[in-house]
């Protein structure tokens, strides 16, 4: 049976809810795989003409809510910068003969997803000593109208780990967009918060995220009558959040960052991490000097990733 043509909006900005599921049994996407997949998505988002609203990386599938931007919005110099940043100055395809092809590629949702899925499959197969497919059928995509529909779709994505019974609070989950906002303070400004609603048109990302978090909690507390066994955010937790106006306090921000105490290879002051790294740098596979990264929310505390995260 021939494939149905994918609905792609041509020559104008469009938002897509994208989903892809693994072909393997069980839940092969464990913590390390999810970390790698998230970093891969971030790298590809920096290359392609796209902006990411949100994501949820689950044990056997993932969701993305992305905006694809036409290539005519970018000058040749802006395209070259993206290519050089991604490929390096010597390997970047930036001559006049290559630019038209690269422009077309970087504006393509299909190419964006292909790069993510192909590169992840190579990583997974190498890590697990296997060959063959990792992902199932081609990815699914839905064109999403900006505004009320977009915010509902984003809330649906962020509530995935709640519905699955993994967490009661969506931001407790490390691999969704609300967790990324709260746990990393939207590190490197990876996610955009231009939600397209009047009530979110406020100055400051912190306030926009607070309003969005409130929206997710109120949505996540509504029972799904057609799916009575689906988990939702407990009313007790929603009530607690209402009472503090959905603000994240210093205590909560600290607790969300305690994962660094178990996930890091080295943690401490900048000097301690740097000095200790020098003792063990020969064990790291990275060709580049690794630098301590500050743990946001913990003043003066820095960390360095584990050796296994350099594979």
Separation of alpha carbons 181 and 172, rounded Å: 11
Q: What is the pLDDT of residue 1?
A: 43
Q: What is the pLDDT of residue 200?
A: 64
Q: Enter the tokens of residue 75.
A: 């000058």
Residue 79: closest CA among 51, 49, 114: 49
User: CA distances (Å), 253 to each of 5, 73, 299, 301, in order?
Assistant: 45, 38, 12, 14
CB 178 within 8 A of CB 245: no
Q: What is the pLDDT of residue 311?
A: 30
Q: What is the pLDDT of residue 285?
A: 58
Q: What is the pLDDT of residue 287?
A: 63
Spatial neighbors of 282 by CB under 8 A, at least 6 apart, are none
Q: What angle do CA 227, 143, 36 make, to 5 degrees?
A: 80
Name 64's bridge partners: 18, 55
CB 112 within 8 A of CB 119: no
Domains and CATH numbers, the chain: 14-70+108-255 (3.30.70.1290), 71-106 (no CATH), 264-310 (no CATH)
CB 311 within 8 A of CB 278: no
Q: What is the pLDDT of residue 222?
A: 61
Q: What is the pLDDT of residue 249?
A: 61
| Ranges in the chain, pLDDT < 70 | 1-6, 196-203, 220-230, 245-246, 248-268, 279-280, 283-287, 295-299, 305-311
Separation of alpha carbons 208 and 189, rounded Å: 14
pTM: 0.76
Separation of alpha carbons 225 and 235, rounded Å: 16
Residue 107: closest CA among 48, 66, 53: 48
Q: What is the pLDDT of residue 8?
A: 75
pLDDT tens-digit readout, 65-108: 999 999 999 999 999 999 999 999 989 998 888 999 999 999 99
What counts of helices (H) and strands (E) characterise the chain?
12, 7
pLDDT tens-digit readout, 274-310: 877 776 677 665 667 778 877 665 567 777 765 444 3
CB 70 within 8 A of CB 12: yes
């Amino acid at each position: 049976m021939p494939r149905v043509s994918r609905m792609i909006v041509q020559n104008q900005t469009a938002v897509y809810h994208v989903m892809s599921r693994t072909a393997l049994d069980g839940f092969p996407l464990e913590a390390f795989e999810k970390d790698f997949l998230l970093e891969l998505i971030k790298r590809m988002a920096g290359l392609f003409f796209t902006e990411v609203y949100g994501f949820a990386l689950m044990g056997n599938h993932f969701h993305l809510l992305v905006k694809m931007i036409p290539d005519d919005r970018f000058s040749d110099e802006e395209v070259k910068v993206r290519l050089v940043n991604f490929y390096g100055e010597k390997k970047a395809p930036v001559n006049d003969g290559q630019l038209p092809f690269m422009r077309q590629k970087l504006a393509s949702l299909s190419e964006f997803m292909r790069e993510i899925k192909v590169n992840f499959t190579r990583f997974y197969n190498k890590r697990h000593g296997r060959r063959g497919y990792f992902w199932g059928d081609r990815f699914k995509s839905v064109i999403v109208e900006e505004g009320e529909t977009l915010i509902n779709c984003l809330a649906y994505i962020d509530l995935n780990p709640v519905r699955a019974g993994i967490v009661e609070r969506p931001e407790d989950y490390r691999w969704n967009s609300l967790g990324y906002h709260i746990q990393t303070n939207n590190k490197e400004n990876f996610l955009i918060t231009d939600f397209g609603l009047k009530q979110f048109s406020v100055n400051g990302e912190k306030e926009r995220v607070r309003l969005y978090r409130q929206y997710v909690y109120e949505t996540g507390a509504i029972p799904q009558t057609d799916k009575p066994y689906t988990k939702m955010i407990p009313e007790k937790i929603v009530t607690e959040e209402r009472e503090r106006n959905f603000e994240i306090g210093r205590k909560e921000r600290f607790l969300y960052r305690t994962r660094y105490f178990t996930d890091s290879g080295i943690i401490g002051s900048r000097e301690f991490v740097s000095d200790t790294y020098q003792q063990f740098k020969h064990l790291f596979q990275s060709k580049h000097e690794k630098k301590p990264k500050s743990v946001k929310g913990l003043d003066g505390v820095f960390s360095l990733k584990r050796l296994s995260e350099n594979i």
